[in-house]
Amino acid sequence: LKAFVDQNLDPDGFPVTVRYRIIDVADYNGDGRMEVAVHAWYYEGGSVILLEYDGTELVEVLATGCGS
């Protein structure tokens, strides 16, 4: 899947480009509902985020990564 780019601002107003790519969709916790694994990265680091749909939006349930 093609990554998309968000333009966010940190508290000091410095523009930070964060890229996201969907890695996998699977039932990671065995509850019968699918979760979405996403790779997120920017110029100083990266992370993997696990998202779950709560009926209205995707909610972060687990994340790990490194960087500043």
Cα 27 to Cα 45: distance, rounded to the nearest angstrom? 27
**Residue 8 confidence (pLDDT) above 80:** no
The answer to pTM > 0.85 is no
For 24, the token pair is 């996998």
For 61, the token pair is 């349930």
Structure-model confidence comparison of residues 66 and 2, the more confident one: 66
Q: What is the DSSP letter of 11?
A: T
**Residue 5 confidence (pLDDT) above 50:** no
For 41, the token pair is 């990265």
**Three-state SS at 51:** strand
Q: How high is the pLDDT of residue 4?
A: 46
DSSP string, 31-48: SSS-EEEEEEEETTEEEE
